[in-house]
Chain A
Amino acid sequence: MQDRSKRRRLARSGSTPPLRTAFFPAALALAAVAGAACAPASAAAQGARTQAPLEVVAKDRPGDAGGRIVVTWREAPGAPASTYRIERSSDGTGPFEPVGEAPPRSTRFEDAGAPAGDPFFYRVVAVLPAGEAVSETTSAAFSRANWFRNDRTNALILVLAFMGLIVGFIEAARRGTKLFIRRISGLSAIDEAIGRATEMGRKILYVPGIQSMDEIQTIASLAILGYVAKVSATYGADLDVPNRDPLTYAAARETVKHAYMEAGRPDLYREETVNYITYDQFAYTAAVTGRMVREKPATNFFIGSFYAESLILSEMGQTTGAIQIAGTAEVFQLPFFVATCDYTLIGEELYAASAYLSREPVLLGSIKGQDIAKALLLVLGAAGVVLTTFGNPIVANWLTMR
C-alpha cells in the first residue's frame, strides 16, 4: 500500500513517468530497434527474390537427333550473377540436381544429357554476392529427334536453287531452246586422236582413273569412254582399257560392250579390251607403263581421278610419242598433266564432256544451268568480299555451313 502510494506521489511529482505511459514508448523503441535490425535480412530476402533469373524457358533443341534441351533465361535487372547454376529434376517438385554452369552474363545453357521422351523440369540459380537466387521452375520439357537441321537452312536454299536452275534449263532444252557451250579443245581433239591411231595401226589406251564408282570423276570418265569406244569401233581401231578398281572394271565392261553394239560392230569386242590389273596404285602404274613401252599405243587417254601416278603415266606416254589427252578435277595433278599432255580437261570441263560430245539437248541444258549457278555464286562471292572488307560479314556468315 505504501509502495503504491509512494509511486503515485512520485508520478504526480514528475520525477519518473508512470509505468503505463513509459511502457508504450519503450515498446515502440524496442520495436523500432528490432525492426531496424530485421530490415536488412527481410530486404535481402525480398531483394533475392527479385534478383532471380526471369523468363526461364526450357525447350527441345531444334535440328538435332534428340537428347538435348535448351534452357534460356533473362538476367534480373541490377543483379549480375558471378555464375549461373542450372538444375533439373524429373518431376517438378524435386530433388533438383545440378547439370551444369553458365558464365556471367549468359542467357542460355544446353543440357546434352536429356534422353528423348523423358520429362525434365529446370530452374536456374543465380549465384550472387549476397547469396543465391532461385528462379521459377519451368514446365516439363522433352527432347525429341528432329527431322530437319535448322542450322543448314542456308545450304538447303542453295541446293534447291541450284537444282531448280538445272532442272529449269533441262526443261527449256527439252522444249527446243537452242543452247550454246564454248569449244573445249581437248574434247574436239578426241576424234582426231582416234583417227591417228587408226591410220598408224596402233591401239588406243584409255585409263579411267584409279578411283572407284563412288567418285563422280570416274562416272564422267566412263561417259567419255562410251564415246571413245563408239568412235573406235566405227573406225575399227583397237582399244585397251586397263582398270585398277574392280567396280570400275565391271562398269567399264558394260559401257564398252554397249558402245560397240551401238556402233554396229559387236564382233570387234574382245574380253581383253577391258581388263583388270590390280588394286595396288603403283603396281597398276607399273603394268600400264610397261604396256605403253612394249605396245606403243598411238593415243593415250588419262581421264578421271588420279593421284601420284599421274606424272609417271603421262611422262612415260610422252616418251613413246603418243598423242595424249588428259582430264581430271584433282588440282594437285593438273600441273603434271598440263606439262606432259597435248590437251588437258580441267575440272568442270571433264563433267561437261558427256553433254559436249553427245550434244544431247537435255545434257546441254544441265551444263547451262550449272553455268548460271556459277555466275550467281560469283556475284554473291564478290558482294561478300566487298561487304566483309568494309566490316559487314553478313554474306560470309550466311555462306558458312555448320
Chain B
Amino acid sequence: MHLVDRLLATDRRIIYLLVGLGALIPLLIPIGLPVTVTPPVRSAFEKIESLPAGSVVVISFDYGPSTAPENDPQAGAVMRHCFARGIRVVGMALYPLGGLSVAVEEINKVAAEFPVTYGVDYVNLGYKDGAQAAMRRMNEDLHELFPRDASGRPIGELLLMQEVRSLKDTDLVFSFATGIIGEWWINLVNAQFGTPVAVGSTAVGTPKYYAYLKAGQAVGLLGGLKGASEYERLLSDHYPDVARIYESPLLYTATQGMDIQTIVHLVIIALVLAGNILYFTSRIMRRSSPGGRRA
C-alpha cells in the first residue's frame, strides 16, 4: 500500500494522541497567548463596573457539570468582579444539576478568596424547578419561591435577603446557561419586567444570543471559554488583587484553557489540511497510474 494511502488510513488512535498532546502540553507549559477583548464581553464588564458598591446581582447557575469547563470560569470571573467591587450576590440555579453541584462549589471557592460573609454579602438559594414559572414568581416574591437557602436555612434569617424581596430589588441578572434557560431570562425577565440581563453561554450556543445582544435585550454576552478569558483579562487589568488570584498555579483559568483551545484548534486544522492534501495526492496518483482512471 502506497505511503499516501497508509497515511489516509491512519489509525484514529494516532489522531487522538496528537489531540491529547495538544491539550496536555499547554497545560504543563503555559504559553500565555494574547487575549483581545471583544465588544459583547466589554459591555458586560462595564455594566457591572457601573454598579455602585452595595448593589445586588443575581447569578443563576443554569448549567451542569458537563459544560462546567466553559461556564465555571465565566461564573467565577463575574463573581470575583462583584466581590472586588463590594457588590452583593444572590446565587440560584434553574438547571437541576447546577443547583446540586456547580453553584455550591463555585460560590464557596470564589467567596473564600474575598473578605465576604455568607448571608450578608452573598447567599446561595439553591435549585428551583419549573424555570419559566419560577422566573415569573421572582418578580413578585423571592421569599415565597425560595423559603430556604441551599443549606436549609430559612430565608428570612439571611440579612441580605431581608433587603431583597423580589427581582425589583436587584440591579442585574447574570445567567450562565448551557441551553435555553438564558433565552428564557431574556424573554421573560428582561422583556416583561425590564431587569437588565447578561448571559454567559457555551460556545455552541453563543450565535443565537448575538441576536438578543444586537436588539438590546441582553446587556452583555460571554461566549464560551473565550468570553471567560476576555473577562479575566479585563479583571486582571483593572483589579491587581484579582490578577494575583489568577496567577495562582493551582487555579484553572479560562486563559489557560484558551491556550489549550488554540493548540487543539490548530491541530485539527492541520489534520483537515493534511487529510485533503493526502486525498488529492492519492487521486492524482490513481489517475496517472498505469491502471488508468477510476470508474
Contact = CB atoms under 8 A, between A and B. Distances in A.
Q: Do A and B come from one complex?
A: yes
B66 A281 contact: yes
B66 A332 contact: no
B249 to A, nearest CB: 29
A319 B15 CA distance: 13
A247 B204 CA distance: 28
B207 to A, nearest CB: 9
Interface residues of B, number: 3
B12 interface: yes
B66 A282 contact: yes
A380 interface: no
Contacts, number: 5
B12 A332 contact: no
Interface residues of A, number: 5
A282 B64 CA distance: 12
Nearest to A281: B66
B196 to A, nearest CB: 21
A394 B54 CA distance: 46
B139 to A, nearest CB: 13
A308 B202 CA distance: 12
5 contacts: A281-B66, A282-B66, A308-B66, A319-B12, A332-B204
Give me the 5 closest cross-chain CB pairs, A-B, nearest first: A332-B204, A282-B66, A308-B66, A319-B12, A281-B66
Nearest to B179: A307
Interface string A45-72: 0000000000000000000000000000
Contacts of B204: 332
B193 to A, nearest CB: 12
B182 to A, nearest CB: 15
Contacts of B66: 281-282, 308
Interface string A306-318: 0010000000000
Interface in B191-218: 204
A402 to B, nearest CB: 10
A155 to B, nearest CB: 16
Interface in B1-53: 12
A280 to B, nearest CB: 9
Interface in B139-191: none
Contacts of A332: 204
Interface string A287-312: 00000000000000000000010000
A384 to B, nearest CB: 18
Contacts of A319: 12
Interface string A328-367: 0000100000000000000000000000000000000000
A316 B204 CA distance: 21
A319 B16 CA distance: 13
A244 to B, nearest CB: 14
B254 to A, nearest CB: 20
A319 B66 CA distance: 24
Nearest to A315: B12
B216 to A, nearest CB: 16
A147 B204 CA distance: 41
A308 B64 CA distance: 13
Contacts of A308: 66
A319 B9 CA distance: 12
Contacts of B12: 319
A282 B66 CA distance: 9
A308 B70 CA distance: 14
Nearest to B207: A332
A215 to B, nearest CB: 13
A319 B12 CA distance: 9
Nearest to B64: A281
A289 to B, nearest CB: 14
B202 to A, nearest CB: 9
A282 B204 CA distance: 18
Nearest to A307: B179
A32 to B, nearest CB: 60
Interface in B66-97: 66
A235 to B, nearest CB: 32
Contacts of A282: 66
B187 to A, nearest CB: 12
A319 B204 CA distance: 25
A93 B66 CA distance: 65
B107 to A, nearest CB: 24
A237 B56 CA distance: 62
Contacts of A281: 66
Nearest to A333: B204
A336 to B, nearest CB: 11
Interface in B270-295: none
A188 to B, nearest CB: 24
B184 to A, nearest CB: 16
